[in-house]
Each structure stands twice: as structure tokens, then as C-alpha cells.
Structure 1
């Protein structure tokens, strides 16, 4: 998982922070291994051979 800030800068990267809790469905729990400051972030994860982009809002 890679997390970018609104400026497109990489602020966090981890390969151990995505846990699949529903193999037959599409639910993925994403937990960064460090706290992120308030803001909007874009994340790219690879899951089951597919790449997905997520928008994370930290309040």
C-alpha cells in the first residue's frame, strides 16, 4: 500500500497493512502502520492481482 498526500508526495508505504477479511467479497480493511496528519490522501493497493485507488480522509 502506498499513500500519497494531495500534492502527490509519497507519505507512507507498507506491504503489511492490508488485511483481507472477506475472501469471497470485496471488503478490504486498510490500516496504516503510522498515524497520518489530518488531510485527504490517495492510496494505491494491489489486491487479488488488481490495482485499486482509494481516497482516505483523516479527520
Structure 2
């Protein structure tokens, strides 16, 4: 039987911590998605505005 130190659990339960590069990559990806959504919203709003002005 093997003894372990205090607080040592099975290695399979360890949650790996994200590295600084991984956190920066996730942040950048989220920013890219946000900018794309804002751009699409701007164009959709522009088209709706043109159609509304055309009806006048």
C-alpha cells in the first residue's frame, strides 16, 4: 500500500490551470467574436435604416 502526503489526491482529479497564452488566446477569440457581432449588427441596422428612409 502506498502512502501519500496530506492533501494528495488522485492525479486524474487534478484540474490543469490555463497558461497565460491560453487565457490571452481565449480573450482574443472572444473579442473577435464581439467585433464580428457588432459589425453584423451595424450593417443590419444600416440596411433597416435605408429601408425605413426609402418608405418616406
TM (norm. structure 2) is 0.17
> If each structure's strand is expressed as a fraction of its own residues, which one has the higher value?
1
Larger Rg: 2
| Higher RCO (C-alpha under 8 Å, 6+ residues apart) | 1
TM-score normalised by the chain length of structure 1: 0.17
More helix by share: 2
